[in-house]
Amino acid sequence: MRWASAPDRGVGGRATPDLRVALAGQANVGKSVIFNQLTGLHQHIANWPGTTVDKAEGRLYYKGLLIDVVDLPGIYSLTHLSLEERISRDYIAKEKPDVVINVVDATALERHLIFTLQLIELGRPLVLVLNMMDLAEKYGIEINAEALEEELGVPVIATIATRGKGISRILDAAIELSRTSYTPKKIRYGEEVEKRLEMLESALKELDLPYPARWVALKLLEGDEEIRELVRVRSPGVIELTDELISELEHIHGHESSIIIANERACAANQIARRCMKIVKPRKPTLGDRFDEIATHPVLGYMLAAVMLAGIFFIVFGVGGAVASFFEEDLSELMREAWISSLGTAPSSEVGWSAAQSILFLIGLAIPYILPLYFLVFLLENWGYLARLSFLMDSLMHKAGVHGKAVIPMLLGFGCNVPACLATRVMDTWKERMIAILMTTLVPCSAVTVVVMGLVGRYLGISWVIGLYLFALLMAFALGSAASRILPGESVELIMEMPSYKAPSLKTILTMTWIRLREYIKIAAPLIVVIGALVKIMEIFGLLEPLSKILSPLTCGWLGLPEETGVLLIFGILRKELILTSLAALLGTLDFSQALTANQMITFSIVTILYIPCAATISALLKETGAKTTLTITAAEIGLAILVGGIASKLLLLLGIN
Amino acid sequence: MKVLLTSLSEGQEAVVVEIAPCGPPHEAGFWGGLRCRFGWGWRGENRVSRGAAKRLADLGILPGTRIKVVRRAPFGGPIEVEVGGSRFMIGRGLASRIIVEV
């Protein structure tokens, strides 16, 4: 690399950048790979103000210039108003980055040009990056970059981002462009549309708008509601003119105006692509195509998916479990001894220890479980397999009112519900996101697995554990399905690109894993520490026993559990695997079969799986959905656990399991 | 001949004619069909179903586009199509609203 990364002053720090660039492009074009190549670890993920959409920013030094890079959300157009699209266009139009870098997939130039044309119309200086040139070559596609530069009036750079090729030339072009004056090239549309555009444009000239007039005129013809409102407050007359022009257009073409404009743009993109690109040989089935025959096969596909998932679980729980026991037992004991010898066992010291223990627990969860899980999931995503998994699972997920993309958060949920909640951001609509979040909080995470394995697995056998897992997933689907009926709004159907398989870029995967891991700890830590200290204080003041008594009609009466379990369930809010360790401490033995019957073990496990998201998950929910939804989900799950646990206990009795 | 995208077999090519606001009765279901035709149900429903047509347009799936069915997912899952060199999966419900000319 010819440039050095900036010293870690933090993004948006005091130093003002010499150049601000924004990366824009559709999903799966290698945009995040380019972003990571540019910024390395000097990046920072936050949310766009007032939203939960990721905002990735980074900073670098190149040829003596301090350059800030913002990665805009991966979107398909600037036309219809999903949150991500609004964010992107507002950023470009209002924050006015010095240069917009538009990354496109060279293997599908025509489709990507539709988006590029919209960006050019927004009027900021633009660099077009043709990424994945190696794949394009493999597919027999030849692109004449100079002709494309001529047609679009912007510099065009060919890159192979996964191998780091052409990255520095993007920066050179951006710097060059920022030093010259830039006038965007006018993209001409069909006669009828062009005539009306000009009429609108001249009517808009006097209005003081934050966007270029021609772009606003196009948006008005497309029926963009936000832009209509923007213009209406300034001049209602222009809106009247717009409606007149739209009805003329719709009369001529026989389609809705938004479709007419989309069509015009597609035609323009088609003509440009035809002049600048040729396919020298027909696309031969690649290795990826042949692999797809297996990966999406009605029988083999599901078998492959099962093998992959089993592999992930083996690595995460088999290898991770061993590492976790080091953190939980050896390291924790060492720390405890050190703590007592230096600070004693006074109440204040005990509360302090509980906080230290919480942090230790979090690290003990993050390193053995979350780290490999994130790594493997990002690996599969980067490679392109996750899209195939969504394809296979779509019809199943539809039963719960979400589409195939929800498989990814569900998968993460088995490790920990916190990353699962964060991963529901892949869902397209608010409704689907809520359903996916609800479902992931019911997926038994690694901590729950510890409890279920330690009780049911140890004394009743693995078949009961599998049964309980299937039961938990069934509950997740039942609740998801109920929510999809109750919540307002129609679910958007699955529309997703099927990406070509790519050799995964280790650097990108590692960076993403690290960034996400950091985010995880930042979200989970505060609430875990606070609740941990609270529970400790309650213990010191002897408040737990009375609480147990208050809960006893529920725990003893309805669920048929011993009274002490009330306390355990309170501990479990903090971290579910505490239920098991506290049970051992309470009984003074590790032989749980002395204290719990088979019936009680199963009932207790069911309640543990369902009853409440743990403290860390609650803080993730708070961050992602707000207080009201978090409370609703928490209350609903407590109710569900009590109801289902009680019924299960009585059913098991009827079946002769005491 | 005008047919639904869902009725094409793997490897078959066609030209998109239009994106209908609702699927056929057997795909939309009884309530889905009623809601779609009369705009019943929860807020925003009609707007969202128009949103799907726009989303397809963004991907270059428009009246007049050549579209090829690459494969169909098992158990009534999505349909994988090829348009202008790239591949997409489209949920079965939406695919059943895409009318094509064979």
Buried b (16+ CB within 10 A) or exposed e, A30-61: bbbbbbbbbbeebbbbeebeeeebbbbbbbbe
Query: Between β-strands B86-90 and A495-497, what pairing exists: parallel, antiparallel or unpaired?
Result: antiparallel
Q: Determine contact: B30 vs chain A, CB below 8 A.
A: no
Helices H, strands E: what count in chain B?
4, 6
Residue of A nearest to B77 (CA): A395
Distance of alpha carbon B59 from alpha carbon B61, whole angstroms:
6
Residue of B nearest to A486 (CA): B42
- From the CA atom positions of chain A, what is the Rg in Å? 28
Q: Determine contact: A28 vs chain B, CB below 8 A.
A: no
pLDDT digits (tens, 9 = 90+) for B68-84: 999 998 888 899 999 87
Q: Determine contact: B84 vs chain A, CB below 8 A.
A: yes
Give CA angle at A73 (A68, A78), nearest 5°: 110
Q: What pLDDT score does B93 carry?
A: 83
What CATH topology corresponds to A191-279? Helix Hairpins (1.10.287)
B17's enclosing H/E stretch is strand B13-19
Distance of alpha carbon A46 from alpha carbon A518, whole angstroms:
12
What CATH topology corresponds to A19-179? Rossmann fold (3.40.50)
* Mean pLDDT of the B94-102 span: 88
User: Which of B58, B75, B79, B90 is the best residue to mutate to test the A interface, defined by the most A CB atoms within 10 Å of its own CB?
Assistant: B58
Specify whether the CB–CB gap between A556 and A563 falls below 8 A: yes
Q: What is the mean pLDDT of chain B?
A: 78
Q: What residues of chain A lie within 8 A of the CB of B62, using their CB?
A: 259, 262-263, 266
pLDDT digits (tens, 9 = 90+) for A295-330: 988 899 999 999 998 898 888 878 887 887 777 778
Q: What pLDDT score does A3 carry?
A: 45
Q: What pLDDT score does B38 carry?
A: 56
pLDDT digits (tens, 9 = 90+) for A231-274: 999 888 889 999 999 999 888 887 788 888 888 888 899 899 98
Q: What pLDDT score does B47 carry?
A: 42
Q: Does A266 sit within 8 Å of B54, measured CB to CB?
A: no
pLDDT digits (tens, 9 = 90+) for A219-230: 899 888 888 888
Q: Determine contact: A294 vs chain B, CB below 8 A.
A: no
Nearest to B62 among A262, A391, A404 (CB): A262
User: Residue A382 — pLDDT band, cuts 50, 70, 90?
Assistant: confident
Written in H, E and C, the secondary structure of A333-394 is HHHHHHHHHHHCCCHHHHHHHHHHHHHHHHHHHHHHHHHHHHHHHHHHHHHCHHHHHHHHHH
Specify whether the CB–CB gap between A135 and A106 falls below 8 A: yes
- φ and ψ at residue A501, rounded to 5 degrees: -65, 140
Nearest to A403 among B43, B88, B91 (CB): B91
User: Residue A10 — pLDDT band, cuts 50, 70, 90?
Assistant: very low
Question: Which residue is associated with the tokens 């989900």?
Answer: A633
Question: What are A249's two structure tokens?
Answer: 């257009």
Residue of B nearest to A282 (CA): B85
| Percent over 70 (pLDDT), chain A | 95
Distance of alpha carbon A434 from alpha carbon A438, whole angstroms:
6
Q: What residues of chain A lie within 8 A of the CB of B27, using their CB?
A: none
Q: What pLDDT score does B42 carry?
A: 41
User: Residue B89 — pLDDT band, cuts 50, 70, 90?
Assistant: very high
Q: Does A396 sit within 8 Å of B52, measured CB to CB?
A: no
Distance of alpha carbon A566 from alpha carbon A544, whole angstroms:
9
CA neighbours within 13 Å on the CB side: how many for A132?
26
Question: What are A75's two structure tokens?
Answer: 């979107």
Domain boundaries, chain A: 19-179, 191-279, 300-522, 532-654
For residue A133, the one-letter residue type is M
Q: Determine contact: B66 vs chain A, CB below 8 A.
A: no
Distance of alpha carbon A474 from alpha carbon A333, whole angstroms:
39
DSSP A490: P
Q: What pLDDT score does A641 carry?
A: 92
Q: What pLDDT score does A49 carry?
A: 67
Q: What residues of chain A lie within 8 A of the CB of B64, using their CB?
A: 263
**Which residues on neighbouring strands pair with residue A495, listed in sequence order?**
B90
In terms of CATH architecture, what is B2-101? Roll (2.30)
Distance of alpha carbon A426 from alpha carbon A424, whole angstroms:
5
Distance of alpha carbon A58 from alpha carbon A46, whole angstroms:
11
Neighbouring residues of A603: CB distance < 8 A, sequence distance ≥ 6:
A559, A560, A561, A645, A648, A649, A652
Domain boundaries, chain B: 2-101
Q: What is the mean pLDDT of chain A?
A: 85
Distance of alpha carbon A237 from alpha carbon A578, whole angstroms:
67
**Which of A152, A149, A170, A69 lies closest to A116 in space, CA to CA?**
A152
pLDDT digits (tens, 9 = 90+) for A489-509: 666 678 888 888 888 888 888
Classified as helix, coil or strand, A493 is coil
pLDDT digits (tens, 9 = 90+) for A121-151: 988 999 999 999 988 888 888 999 999 999 9
Q: Determine contact: B45 vs chain A, CB below 8 A.
A: yes
Q: Which ipTM score applies to this complex?
A: 0.84
**Which of A531, A564, A645 lies closest to A599 in space, CA to CA?**
A645
**Which residues on neighbouring strands pair with residue A68, listed in sequence order?**
A20, A59
User: Which of A89, A137, A218, A259 is the best residue to mutate to test the B interface, defined by the most B CB atoms within 10 Å of its own CB?
Assistant: A259
Out of A241-250, A340-349, A388-397, B19-28, pick the least confident.
B19-28
Question: What are A540's two structure tokens?
Answer: 């010191």
Neighbouring residues of A608: CB distance < 8 A, sequence distance ≥ 6:
A448, A451, A452, A569, A572, A576, A579
Distance of alpha carbon A104 from alpha carbon A272, whole angstroms:
15
**Which of A130, A136, A72 lies closest to A103 in space, CA to CA?**
A130
Q: Determine contact: B55 vs chain A, CB below 8 A.
A: yes
Q: Does A80 sit within 8 Å of B55, measured CB to CB?
A: yes
Q: Determine contact: A114 vs chain B, CB below 8 A.
A: yes
Question: What are A385's two structure tokens?
Answer: 């397999």
**How distant, in Å, are the alpha carbons of A206, A211, A227, A231, A469 from that of A234?**
10, 14, 11, 5, 59
User: Residue A172 — pLDDT band, cuts 50, 70, 90?
Assistant: very high
Residue of A nearest to B36 (CA): A490
